[in-house]
Structure 1
Amino acid sequence: MKIVLIHGQNHKGSTYHIGRMIAEKISGGENPVEFFLPRDLNHFCTGCYACVEEVEKCPFYEEKNRIMAEVETADVLIFTTPTYALRESAPMKSFIDLTFNYWMSHRPRKCMFSKKAVVVSTAAGTGAKKAVKYVANVLFYWGVPHVWTYGISVQAMNWNGVKEKKKRKIEKQTARIADNVVKKTAKAGLKTKAVFMLMRMLQKADLASGEPDKAYWEKNGWLGKDRPWR
């Protein structure tokens, strides 16, 4: 089982450790593929819309594609982001902005509809649950049918400062999440299918984001009888 971790931070703090903990429980110790933001993608979306015309025209395509090529071949995605100002980190938000053409409203990838994902965030205080909710919602619009979230206040500034009682609680909770990820069969549900079909209607009626996106849908056969799920 291939796991790709995308960390919304360069440092290896509480969020990083919990993400790795879940990955190890899912894979049984096999090393995942990891990316760190902003180290591996240190750019903001400029709003140039080049990627809407042609994906390769994005000025940051090569760096972005190095990550997304691994994402597309993964079985499980794990996104980790510390909670900053009650939300996901700026590097994570920037990554989301740079991959907006993966959304169902634009050019969703067929492979996303058979993946599973986990989103992790920690905070010294509050806000972690809001941070994971946003990232999980993004993954839903990518087409990922099963997304688990884990947002927790660790009441510490770093992993070494987290109390042992809290770590035992995290250990138990992440074990349950990992077990669910392993057991769950990745299959698009009614909500995913309903949103996809709505986007299909908009594409057919020329009410979506333009001819290049519609051509992409036509090429995949989605304006006909084909669908991206099994």
Structure 2
Amino acid sequence: MKIVLIHGQNHKGSSYHIGRMIADKINTAKEVTEFFLPKDLNYFCLGCYNCIEDESKCPFYVKKKKIMDAVEQADLLIFTTPTYCMRASAPMKSFMDLTFTYWMVHKPRKCMFSKKAIVVSTAAGRGTKSAIKDITNTLLYWGVPYIRTYGISVQSMNWAQVPEKRKIQIQSDTDRIAKIFSEEQKTRVGIKTKLLFNMMRMMQKVGWGSSPVEKEYWESNGWLAKERPWNNKL
């Protein structure tokens, strides 16, 4: 199993430790790759739309491609983010902006429809629910069909200060999550993903996409006919 962790912070805080704990507990042969934001992609989307016509024309293509190549090859994606002002971190939001062409409304990747994902967020108090939603929304529109989430108030500003009672709870919770992902189960694409895809398909079919290039992309994959990205998965 190939696991990619994308951390919405450079420091190794509570969110990082929980995400890494889950990855380490998964009882299958695994290869783990980690990226830290903003260190590995320290840019904001410029809204130039060059990527709509040609992905390689993005000013930040090289660094973005390194992350997304790993994402495309992964079986499991683990996203971690601290809660900043009750939302995902700014570097994580920037990453999602820079990968907007992966959304079903633009140029979805077939490989995404067979992946699993875990989203982890921590807060000193409240806010993990909305921070997690920022990321799960992106994963849904990428086409990722199986997503589990874990948010917890750690009542501290860093991992060292997390109360021992909370750490015991986290150990138990991460055992449970890792067990789920240690079991080899076929990923099924649900009705919500299929419905969203077919809505975007109809938009592309009538020419309501952002560019004719997008419609050509959909046609080349056979998605405007009878092919679907979740069929005939390897």
Residue 101 of structure 1 corresponds to 101
Letter in structure 2 aligned against 1:172: S
Note the C-alpha offset of 1:28.
5.2
Which deviates further from its counterpart, 175-184 or 159-168? Answer: 175-184
Count of matched residue positions in the alignment of Structure 1 and Structure 2: 230
Pair 54,2 (structure 1): closer, same or farther in 2 beyond 3 Å? same
Question: Quick one: distance in 2 between partners of 1:169 and 1:126?
Answer: 17
Residue 173 of structure 2 corresponds to 173
Pair 33,120 (structure 1): closer, same or farther in 2 beyond 3 Å? same
TM-score normalized by the length of structure 1: 0.97
TM-score normalized by the length of structure 2: 0.95
Residue 124 of structure 1 corresponds to 124
Note the C-alpha offset of 1:29.
8.0
Letter in structure 2 aligned against 1:137: N
CA contact (8 A) 2:106 2:210 kept: yes
Question: Quick one: distance in 2 between partners of 1:204 and 1:11?
Answer: 45
What CA RMSD, in Å, does the superposition of the two structures yield over aligned residues? 1.2
SS at match of 1:206: coil
Aligned ranges for residues 1-230 of structure 1 at < 5 Å? 1-27=1-27, 30=30, 32-183=32-183, 184-230=185-231
Structure 1 vs Structure 2: percent identity of aligned residues?
63
Note the C-alpha offset of 1:185.
2.4
For 1:121-176, what per-residue CA distance to the aligned partner results, in whole angstroms no more than 9, with x for missing partners? Answer: 10111101110112011101000000111111000111111111111111111222
Note the C-alpha offset of 1:82.
0.5
Which deviates further from its counterpart, 204-213 or 2-11? Answer: 204-213
For 1:82-107, what per-residue CA distance to the aligned partner results, in whole angstroms no more than 9, with x for missing partners? Answer: 10000000000000000000000000
User: 5+ residue gaps in structure 1?
Assistant: none
Q: Which runs of 4+ in 1 moved over 3 A?
A: 27-31
Which deviates further from its counterpart, 26-35 or 220-229? Answer: 26-35
